[in-house]
Structure 1
Amino acid sequence: MKQNFTVRQGALDGVEAFLSVARHRSFRKAAADLGVTPSAISQAVRVLEERIGAVLFVRTTRSVGLTEAGERFLSRAKPAFEELVAASEVARELGQRPTGLLRLSVPRAVVPLLLEPLLASFCQAYPEVEVEIAVSKEVVDLAAEGFDAGIRLGQLVAADMVAVPLTPPFRLVVVGSPSYFTGRKRPRHTDDLRQHACLRWRRSNGALASWSFENNGHTLEIAVSGPLIASDFPTMMGAALEGIGLAQLPEPMVSDAVKAGKLVRVLDAYAPMLPGVFLCYPSRRQIMPKLRAFIDHVKSRKASVGQTKGR
């Protein structure tokens, strides 16, 4: 049967005093070592003995020795206390300078778009920080899953998150390859999409996403159809480049391919504006130096973030 254990309040009180007396075999020397009075050391040890229910030291006017109970307590308490001190030092180091493991939850599409330009320079600037990139199409709970921060489209950032912009707002554009348009008319109105093969995106909740447009300040949601369903933007872009169909993608993602003539934009008059991409994290309180360093690095290099690479 599972037992429930609790640590009583003050359970560690007096342990450091006990260990110092045991090391020096002297209450006076232990007091000098810890920077307190001998009477304070005696009181701390007395309270510890009362709490444990056993005498730990044999005291005479000339010497201090350990009882059998004291020897047994020392054999277990000393390594445990040293481990606690070491743990405190490790935690203090993480709280004082950028070091340790920085875990980021990101959608696959932003890795080449945003992270590759940032990661190389960040890792060079902060060699003691290890960066772990967890790519997921789902919007995970950052705190529950142990992530320091995540990267999200603006409309997916929760209200209780602190958000740092990585990109300015951008449009969601429809593109197709020149080979796709061979023998086909380019759509001029959103209604024309009924005659076109449209690549679709399945959300993390399993639903197929509609294509979104704006017309005279009104939002239009259109259910399209086509030969391919993907769960991420890079796959949709690759399919569009191969001429499989039209895709609706973030403008920064396709800008290089458009400039190179590999993709053609259509329906620009209806392209909706998105808030952009943000680095988000749960709280402003007690930000660890590793995350603060990454945030500052992002802000300092914001001008170059989002400059799209080609395929």
Structure 2
Amino acid sequence: MSAIRLDSFDVFVAIVRCGGFRAAALERGVSSSALSQTMNALEEALGIRLLNRTTRSVSPTEAGQRLLERLAPALSDIRLAIAEVDELRESPSGTLRINAPAPAIDHFLCPLAFDFMDAYPQVKIELISDAAVIDIVEQRFDAGVRFGKQLAQDMIALPLGPALRYVIVASPDYLKKHGQPRSPNDLINYDCIKRRFSNGRLVNWKFVEGDEEIEISPTGRLTVSTAHNELQAALASRGLAHVFEDYARPYIRSGRLVEILPEWSQILPHWFLYYPNRRLPSAAMRSFLDYMKGYDWQKINRVCATTTR
């Protein structure tokens, strides 16, 4: 048998986990052809086919599946061993991969990661935007960010940032033309900028004042898929937007948007950053967790206030 590079096995696992060469190549930052060459060399060295390839899919052969079942825990042990060696360095290194919804990345993870990278220049960070609930262990993420009710029981969770608040905003020109609603029920008479998730579901708008709760299905001519597009439409006087306050705060302060029905604003719990409790975090991950625990979240608001004056 020819000599085999250990990283070839990691490539094989990544291709199966990602469901194809293209997705694995994107994850690893290389070309599909490079991964194909690695797999061809591995199969040739082993003398057996590991992958069934079609124009639409890639799946392991029986031999590939058996090898995969033994490789996954072995590669995990190798990564853990490397992480333990890394602890002996004066400064942690390596790559942290974190999966999180876009709002959490925009307003909390990005500022945190930028400052952390200044403090730990040998650590690389990947922030992957994804609203779907995934298995972060299977997808090889060090951590994820979700609301508490979405977390698996075998995870350790830490609060990320302060509590969240939804706001309804519109441009002064739009309100001058259409007037301001007095209650959530009045919104049926306004152009509401709707948002649709990638799974096809439209976002309902929820309101709370004291013990009273109201949930409406917004109506309007425009439907978008991101909070950024909602704000873009609201700034263009296309209707009312329903977004996290963090997105709208700079525009409210500058006067380009006006908050509507603030007494009905829905308050949500803060995000949680979570990671598996059944494995020891790497030195880089532990440094990131310690940095996060002492982070000044009010700094973000102070920066926003300065840039919008």
TM range (shorter): 0.5 to 0.7
- Aligned 1:64-213 pairs, distance under 5 A: 90-94=82-86, 96=88, 98-213=92-207
Distance 1:280 1:146 in 2: 14
Q: AA paired with 2:272?
A: F
Cα contact 1:227–1:244 (8 A) shared by 2: no
What secondary structure sits across from 1:249 in the alignment?
strand
- Pairing partner for 1:251 from 245, 249, 261: 245
- Aligned sequence identity (%): 33
Question: Who is 2:228 aligned against?
Answer: 234
1:5 deviates by: 6.9
Which has the larger Rg?
1
- CA contact under 8 A between 1:252 and 1:306: conserved in structure 2? no
Report the CA distance between 1:151 and its aligned residue. 2.3
Q: 1:248 is paired with a residue of what secondary structure?
A: strand
Task: Give the Cα separation in 2 of the matches to 1:231 and 1:158.
Answer: 27
Question: Matched residue of 1:213: which SS?
Answer: strand
Instruction: Decide whether aligned partners of structure 1 residues 226 and 109 sit closer, same or farther in structure 2, where only a CA change above 3 A counts.
Output: same
Task: Give the secondary-structure state (helix, strand or coil) at the position aligned to 1:118.
Answer: helix
Return 5+ residue gaps in structure 2 as ranges.
Answer: 1-60, 68-77
**Which residue number in structure 2 is paired with residue 303 of structure 1?**
297
Q: Deviations over 1:33-53 (max 9, x none)?
A: xxxxxxxxxxxxxxxxxxxxx
> Conserved in 2, the CA contact under 8 Å of 1:108 and 1:234?
no
SS in 2 for 1:269: helix
Deviating more after overlay: 160-169 vs 177-186 = 160-169
How much does 1:226 deviate? Answer: 1.4
Contact persistence 1:103–1:147 (CA under 8 A): yes
Tell me: CA distance 1:89–1:111, structure 2 relative to 1, closer, same or farther (3 Å). closer
Q: Contact (CA 8 Å) 1:167, 1:306: kept in 2 or not? A: no
Q: Who is 2:40 aligned against?
A: none
The answer to whether the 8 Å contact 1:173/1:268 transfers is yes
Higher fraction of helix: 2
Which amino acid is 1:249 matched to?
Answer: V
Report Cα offsets for 1:101-121 as digits up to 9, x if no partner.
Answer: 100112223333123322222
State the SS of the aligned residue for 2:98.
Answer: strand
The aligned counterpart of 1:10 is: none
Give the direction of change, closer, same or farther, for the CA distance of 1:94–1:200 in structure 2 (3 Å limit): farther
Q: Which residue of 1 aligns with 2:14?
A: none
Offset of residue 89 of structure 1 = 6.4
Paired residue type of 2:84: R
Indicate how the Cα distance of structure 1 residues 284 and 165 shifts in structure 2: closer, same or farther if over 3 A, else same: farther
Q: How does 1:267-306 map to 2 (within 5 A)?
A: 267-283=261-277, 285-304=279-298, 306=300
Contact kept in structure 2, 1:211 and 1:223, CA below 8 Å: yes
Question: Does the residue aligned with 1:278 lie in a helix, a strand or coil?
Answer: strand
Displacement after TM superposition at 1:229 (Å): 1.9
1:225 to 198, 219, 232: 219
Judged with a 3 Å threshold, the aligned counterparts in structure 2 of structure 1 residues 153 and 305 are, in CA distance, closer, same or farther, namely: farther
Give yes or no for contact 2:83–2:282 (8 Å, CA) kept in 1.
no
Structure 1, gaps ≥5 residues long: 7-85
Partner SS, residue 289 of structure 2? helix
The amino acid across from 1:203 in the alignment is F
Distance 2:82 2:119 in 1: 22
Separation in 2, partners of 1:116, 1:253: 14
State whether residues 184 and 214 of structure 2, in contact with CA within 8 Å, keep that contact through their aligned partners in structure 1: no
Please report how far the alpha carbon of residue 262 of structure 1 lies from its aligned counterpart in structure 2 after TM superposition. Answer: 1.1
2:236 maps to amino acid: E
